[in-house]
Structure 1
Amino acid sequence: MNKKELYSMKLLEATDELVKLAKEDVPVRNKETCKEQLIYQRGLYLRAEIENRILKVAFYLAEYLSMDCRKPLYTLYVDKKNGSFIGYDYQIKKWTERMLDKTIFSKWLYQENSYMQEADTALIQKYLESEYDDAFYALYVYQCDQRHRRLGMKYEKILANWDQRMDRLPEIPKDWLRWQKKVGITQNFIFYHYSRKKDQTGHCSWCESEVPIRHPHHNAVGRCPKCRHQIQYKAVGRAKNIETKKETAYLLQTCGKNVFVLREFQLQMLIVSSSYKKPVYSFFERRRILYDEKLNTEEYYFGRHHWKKENRWIQGKLQVPLYPGYGGYMTYEEYDMGNIYGKSLHGIKNRTFRKTGFQEYAKAKKYLDPVSFFEMVRERPYLERLIKAGLYHLTEDIMDNKAQIYCEDSGDLGKALGIDRFRLKRLRTNNGGEIFLQWLLLEKAQNKLIRDDVILWMCREKLKPADLMFIMDRMNPLQIRNYLEKQASESGESVKNLIKTWKDYLDMAIRVGVNVQDSVIYRARKLIQRHNEMIKEIEAKNLILRAGELEKKYPGLNRICRELKKYAYVGKEYQIVVPEKVDDILYEAKLMHHCVNNTETYYERMSQQESYILFLRKTEKPTEAYYTLEVEPDGTIRQTRTFYNKQNEDIELAKDFLIKWQKQLKKKLVKEDYELAVKSQGLRKKEIDELRNKGVRVNGVGYCNKLLAEILEEDLMESGNRELEEQAA
């Protein structure tokens, strides 16, 4: 339809009858929704007219008609002869091909409360040849039919083009079905009946004949004595229906000038135990990929077309169901490793294919993913040279995205790879991959020969030159191999782990100021033992530095530790050990991972002689950490904590000992100790009151949002000195 001609047509204005009805159409407030709305009894009014064989339908809203606004908001033009429609929106002043359910009038589509004169309704029904009583809905149905017709024409054209492309594909080879049975499907079986006889026969699913077998076992793996294929034994009495795994096979064929096609098949075999001599084969072709002279792809898959409602070849990525029986689909872009039908490769008359090296690579590898191969060749054309030079391992590393090599544009492949002909020959002879090439590049750069057996050992252990650069300035690759082999045999550790340990050990040695250029150091006799010793040495050095910082910040800490000897006590099962210096407290706290290691509060209290840190040990193990105590000068125990700041049930077993220790301590205390104890008691009560007022809670192990003040009060073990204040006075 010509928009200029449509726009020049007579404008359909509302009649007096429509205006009168609109003014009588009083809106009612609707309070059921979240926002109050005015609802009209009708709300929408329509008028129709035919001009130049074009049906014009004007749309009016009651709220505008009631204010004597006779111009329509929207006019729909329908040309039945040409099967087209178009609308003009007077609000935005634009032409639109929107469906009526996508306009502001959509809410009247199914309510059937719009108004149109009977003559106009009859006019629309006659023009559209519609049987619907509601003219508005009849217009919408007509739009849907036209859209459906146009879409159908569009899809018919697309589908015809797809079918034309698929019809150009050649027929499958004559022996293709046999090849799938004998080569594509790799799972084979020998079925037999239970018998006590030593010599019996079974049926091989590959050679399809009776073969002699001896002492078969159900599900055992073996080889057929006739065809020599790997098989699995299946007892007929125990074997149920067998469904082999789905395997992938690829067929490549010429498809027109400078185009070849890759066809992907899924193969499977079903054997029913009752008729095991007649297996059922399933060969499903699910994807076809067309390649042009630049290896650009055009992919098709076999699936259900949403328009045709039938299974057919569809252009695009494979669509698979999200879940079995579920209507949703997802795009499946992965490609499986599969068997390649080799006979067809010789008949592909395509220059681009010949330059990929695929034919040579397929001979060397039984299974491969051809889609990924062609993608990689398109990105890295030098792969063809590597394949035709017999460097299959290096090609495989590149295909797996493991290798990032630089290949120059040179007629000499050795020079292109950064090496020379002599080293290229060694790379080919040893079937070297990326790691072998890296060692050859290092050898050429340093101009120092590295033996092939040493490089092969590095490849087996997956060691690149970059992994050993930390020691290469002091040891050559042969020495490194011999050293690592010896350390691995003595320690039982893997070479990879030993390298990490070795590097870590040398880094620590530098930190402590050891000469790492000395062979005695960098080639330690027992690497793991020396590594562990170095860790302890660094930890001790760190503790000494930390102790020095605390002594500087809180003077007199070490002196106070030396004066705590009277707090030591030995019982039958337990004993109290006093620290000789701050280093002992730091080491114990680090070992037990409790709060003494994370805060300086305890060292500040010790410096003010408010409380002391003591160790509770078992008498039979006096050097082994057990519990850490915070004790006031009179022996009152504020806290008892073991590993990871916990207090286990076993502390109850030691309480009798702790009470006995407190009693004997009274005889050793002097007036100064009691004065310090009074002060400590006051500070402790003040701290607990502050924590209670602040509502400080703990959510650690064993505590569930419990007040810290309550925890400290529960931990408290007073010494029982009732005359404490008297003694202090």
Structure 2
Amino acid sequence: MKRKQIEKVAVKRPEGKGWKKGKRVAAQLSGGYLILDLWSDGTWIYRHAVDLQTGEYASCDMTGLWTQENLNNAFARGEYWIFIDEESFPLSKKERELALDALKVNWPDADVYERIGSLEREYSRERRDRKEDRRVQRVNDLMDSVPDVCKPVMEWISGQVAGSLHYAIWDKTDDTYQCTACGQSFAASSAGAKMKHRGDAICPLCGQALTVEKRRSSLQRKASLTLIHGLDEKRGIQRHFDVTVDWEIFRVVKLHETIRCMLHKGAWSMQPCEYYYAQHDGWDNKGNPFSLRWKTGYLYPEGVREGLEGTAYHAWADVLQHIAAQGMKANYDRIIADTRKGFIGTVEYLAKGRFRRLLEETSNEVNYTHGYGSWNALDISGRDICAVMRIRDMQKINRLRQEDGGNDMLEWMQWADKAGKRIGSDVLSWYGRSGITNAKYRSSRASRRLSPEQLMNYLNRQVTESYGGKRKAKAVFETYEDYLSMSERLGKDMSDAMVYRPRELKRRHGEAVEENNRRIEAERARMDKEQARKDAERMEEKYPGSEAILAAIKPKYEYGNGRFRITVPHSFIDIVSEGMALHHCVGHTERYFDRILQHETYICFLRRAEEPEKPFYTIEVEPGGTIRQHRGMYDEEPDIEEVKPFLREWQKEIRKRMREEDHEHARLSAVKREQNLEELRRKNNTRVLEALMEDLMEVV
């Protein structure tokens, strides 16, 4: 867009009267552009220009600042709730026709701004498409410049993954063996030895040493490979491959490249590296649809120095070449992310000390943002191997090397070194198989009483004796920890071996669970009772005189037979506690207390005769004996068919005890009940209405 040319076009004033009030727009044509000048209360504030051929657009404000905003954003100026149309931003009739003719719109009801918006959206879409096409072409050109994997790489990784391993695969159809070295078949009789599964044999045709395979017709091994080499003057490249070695007719090595990391040289890029991922139809750096990740694998030793030279990772060149030459596995993408001298020196210690497994696990602990953390097992600021390992005893370090231990063994050795204790290989092996790490042991309650060996023996015994071998040691360990935790909460004497090392863990754990649950229920009941007291005190303040009413109705409403008994609460505290115990709304809703004071309904408790203190049913009853609601636990109605005959019996007894004022209260209560039901019908609250009608028991 020729902005200087557009700036030279004079600002046009809107035509017609009233242009000094509100928003007005003036339109003009110049040099193939439609120029719209926006005025507000007689002041020019903005100009928007559209290329009529391409749809390109730009805007300029009164300060001369140009922005590439579309019409809607330009005229709205941050007020995104404004709708851009000809009613809000009027044009004169003449200028409107001029704009529509320039925009090649020949229908009468067209909106100028709608047509401009459509033209600008089409331009933006085409521009995005062109930009994306250029980006994709750049990616394709870059990916095409990456060379294919050469034969020496294939041979090297084949040797690392499979060595000289070849098979004699048995074909049971004709009782012959397929040699994967030469691809030919031979009979067992010509092998000169008995062909035993997984035994050794010599191919009589090519002389290759073979391993006999009689159960499968093909075999496979998988691994990962990293290649680092130079690409051009601006980049080195790090490449990740999934490696598959198949033995069927021949031994075949297959490489599938999944990730490419461009290592930028010098300062030409703001980023030290950039990742490209294998896609459905090529490579791209905009997404990772298959969630591809760098895996632990081998590093090909050739080309490492050339690939890292000039990049942010050049300090790793010597160490990585040594690691690769030793055939050590690591997550090479993660490991080079930390370029601190101390970490590189630590990795060099591990590589030259032949701590293979520890090196592999350490590489996977590197964080791409923060590097290898101070919270990890190794001290990268250490000046010698003892300081790095955080172990003073060299024998323990040598043992770590000899047994090819990883991070967990390192932490066990650190624990043993600090505690001045020895831990056997059989114990370490058991913990490794069981999945109980040193960190779990150190943080456990069991470690306060039992040594690693004692804990191992105890768990093994419980697996057999308490759980009949049906649970694994790790699960029993978690149960043991749960038992110790509950025992502490229950105030048990944790110095007593009978407590901290029970003979029957399963039974004692179950007993602890039951006792703990009883305490929790008791505490919950205490808290509920306290809350009930507070709620009741608040209700009694709001509704004074309640206790006198409850005391007055007690002789009239209390009743019982051999199976059930009706009692009247002493105070609002009893009502609130009842509601909490049975988990229903009585006691939590003020309307029940208001009804008691108005003598509309009363609250009574139904109990079983043999359990007079245990809440069973809460009854809302009118002064005349009509029962409005009868609710048990969680608003359920247990044994209701057994309860109803007693309730009928109780209603008859109430009628006998009624006095003159009770009859008047009963009449008014029936009126209010009907008003309440009518209101529910009017509100169409069928759920509550049906529940109330189902509960209602009028006096027969």
Match of 2:448 among 453, 469, 473: 473
Contact map agreement 1:692 1:708 (CA 8 A) in 2: no
Tell me whether 1:44 sits opposite 2:29 in the alignment.
Answer: yes
Judged with a 3 Å threshold, the aligned counterparts in structure 2 of structure 1 residues 230 and 431 are, in CA distance, closer, same or farther, namely same
Following superposition of structure 1 onto structure 2, how do residues 424-443 of structure 1 map, counting pairs within 5 Å? Answer: 424-443=397-416
Residues 216-273 of structure 1: per-residue CA shift (max 9 Å, x gap): xxxxx999986549899679xxxxxxxx9998643445789999754445678999xx
Q: Distance in 2 between matches of 1:696 and 1:293?
A: 80
Contact map agreement 1:190 1:203 (CA 8 A) in 2: yes
Tell me whether 1:595 sits opposite 2:583 in the alignment.
Answer: yes
Which residue pairs with 2:226 in the alignment? 250
Quote the offset at 1:385 in angstroms. 1.5
Following superposition of structure 1 onto structure 2, how do residues 623-638 of structure 1 map, counting pairs within 5 Å? Answer: 629-631=617-619, 638=629
Judged with a 3 Å threshold, the aligned counterparts in structure 2 of structure 1 residues 545 and 358 are, in CA distance, closer, same or farther, namely farther
Secondary structure of residue in 1 paired with 2:287? strand
Judged with a 3 Å threshold, the aligned counterparts in structure 2 of structure 1 residues 477 and 415 are, in CA distance, closer, same or farther, namely same
Which residue pairs with 2:275 in the alignment? 317
Q: Distance in 2 between matches of 1:470 and 1:291?
A: 49
Residues 468-520 of structure 1: per-residue CA shift (max 9 Å, x gap): 44343333333333333333331344444445444444444444443333333
Residues 197-218 of structure 1: per-residue CA shift (max 9 Å, x gap): 853457677753336699xxxx
Q: Distance in 2 between matches of 1:548 and 1:90?
A: 71
Q: Distance in 1 between matches of 2:577 and 2:321?
A: 66
Which residue pairs with 1:373 in the alignment? 335
Which residue pairs with 1:725 in the alignment? none
Residues 507-559 of structure 1: per-residue CA shift (max 9 Å, x gap): 444444433333332333333223223223314532663586489778999xx
Judged with a 3 Å threshold, the aligned counterparts in structure 2 of structure 1 residues 297 and 400 are, in CA distance, closer, same or farther, namely farther
Contact map agreement 1:586 1:597 (CA 8 A) in 2: no
Q: Distance in 1 between matches of 2:141 and 2:513?
A: 73
The two structures have a TM-score, normalised by structure 1, of 0.53
Tell me whether 1:464 sits opposite 2:458 in the alignment.
Answer: no
Following superposition of structure 1 onto structure 2, how do residues 686-725 of structure 1 map, counting pairs within 5 Å? Answer: 706-716=686-696, 718=697, 721-722=699-700
Contact map agreement 2:237 2:263 (CA 8 A) in 1: yes
Which residue pairs with 2:526 in the alignment? 545
Following superposition of structure 1 onto structure 2, how do residues 463-542 of structure 1 map, counting pairs within 5 Å? Answer: 463-465=437-439, 467=441, 468-489=443-464, 490-491=466-467, 492-527=470-505, 528-539=509-520, 541-542=522-523
Contact map agreement 1:419 1:440 (CA 8 A) in 2: yes
Q: Which amino acid aligns with 1:439?
A: W
Q: Which amino acid aligns with 2:515?
A: M
Q: Distance in 2 between matches of 1:483 and 1:680?
A: 73
Q: Distance in 2 between matches of 1:327 and 1:355?
A: 31
Quote the offset at 1:407 in angstroms. 0.9
Q: Distance in 1 between matches of 2:136 and 2:282?
A: 27
Following superposition of structure 1 onto structure 2, how do residues 349-360 of structure 1 map, counting pairs within 5 Å? Answer: 352-356=316-320, 359=323
Contact map agreement 1:436 1:456 (CA 8 A) in 2: no
Tell me whether 1:639 sits opposite 2:630 in the alignment.
Answer: yes
Judged with a 3 Å threshold, the aligned counterparts in structure 2 of structure 1 residues 229 and 546 are, in CA distance, closer, same or farther, namely same
Q: Distance in 2 between matches of 1:270 and 1:432?
A: 30
Judged with a 3 Å threshold, the aligned counterparts in structure 2 of structure 1 residues 511 and 362 are, in CA distance, closer, same or farther, namely same
Contact map agreement 1:222 1:233 (CA 8 A) in 2: no
Which residue pairs with 1:337 in the alignment? 295
Match of 2:381 among 382, 385, 409: 409
Judged with a 3 Å threshold, the aligned counterparts in structure 2 of structure 1 residues 175 and 588 are, in CA distance, closer, same or farther, namely farther
Contact map agreement 2:576 2:586 (CA 8 A) in 1: no
Following superposition of structure 1 onto structure 2, how do residues 106-185 of structure 1 map, counting pairs within 5 Å? Answer: 113=102, 173-176=150-153
Which residue pairs with 1:446 in the alignment? 419
Secondary structure of residue in 2 paired with 1:472? helix
Q: Distance in 2 between matches of 1:277 and 1:443?
A: 52
Q: Distance in 2 between matches of 1:108 and 1:597?
A: 72
Secondary structure of residue in 2 paired with 1:44? strand
Q: Distance in 1 between matches of 2:38 and 2:527?
A: 84
Which residue pairs with 2:363 in the alignment? 399
Quote the offset at 1:413 in angstroms. 1.0
Quote the offset at 1:108 in angstroms. 12
Secondary structure of residue in 2 paired with 1:397? helix
Contact map agreement 2:275 2:285 (CA 8 A) in 1: no
Judged with a 3 Å threshold, the aligned counterparts in structure 2 of structure 1 residues 494 and 245 are, in CA distance, closer, same or farther, namely closer
Equivalent pairs: percent with the same residue? 16
Judged with a 3 Å threshold, the aligned counterparts in structure 2 of structure 1 residues 514 and 318 are, in CA distance, closer, same or farther, namely same
Following superposition of structure 1 onto structure 2, how do residues 149-298 of structure 1 map, counting pairs within 5 Å? Answer: 173-176=150-153, 199-201=174-176, 208-210=183-185, 227-228=210-211, 249-253=225-229, 262-265=238-241, 289=261
Contact map agreement 1:484 1:495 (CA 8 A) in 2: yes
Residues 367-398 of structure 1: per-residue CA shift (max 9 Å, x gap): x5432233357683212312332333333333
Contact map agreement 1:258 1:352 (CA 8 A) in 2: no
Tell me whether 1:422 sits opposite 2:381 in the alignment.
Answer: no
Q: Distance in 2 between matches of 1:463 and 1:696?
A: 66
Contact map agreement 2:246 2:253 (CA 8 A) in 1: yes
Following superposition of structure 1 onto structure 2, how do residues 581-620 of structure 1 map, counting pairs within 5 Å? Answer: 595-596=583-584, 610-614=603-607
Secondary structure of residue in 1 paired with 2:337? helix
Judged with a 3 Å threshold, the aligned counterparts in structure 2 of structure 1 residues 185 and 338 are, in CA distance, closer, same or farther, namely farther
Q: Distance in 1 between matches of 2:48 and 2:647?
A: 98
Secondary structure of residue in 2 paired with 1:535? helix
Secondary structure of residue in 1 paired with 2:447? coil
Q: Distance in 2 between matches of 1:673 and 1:578?
A: 17
Judged with a 3 Å threshold, the aligned counterparts in structure 2 of structure 1 residues 250 and 441 are, in CA distance, closer, same or farther, namely closer
Q: Which amino acid aligns with 2:361?
A: D
Q: Distance in 2 between matches of 1:28 and 1:234?
A: 94
Aligned length: 565
Judged with a 3 Å threshold, the aligned counterparts in structure 2 of structure 1 residues 471 and 655 are, in CA distance, closer, same or farther, namely closer
Contact map agreement 1:190 1:202 (CA 8 A) in 2: yes
Quote the offset at 1:103 in angstroms. 11
Judged with a 3 Å threshold, the aligned counterparts in structure 2 of structure 1 residues 658 and 498 are, in CA distance, closer, same or farther, namely same
Quote the offset at 1:406 in angstroms. 4.1
Contact map agreement 1:263 1:285 (CA 8 A) in 2: yes
Quote the offset at 1:176 in angstroms. 4.0
Q: Distance in 1 between matches of 2:512 and 2:30?
A: 91
Secondary structure of residue in 1 paired with 2:493? coil
Q: Which amino acid aligns with 1:447?
A: G
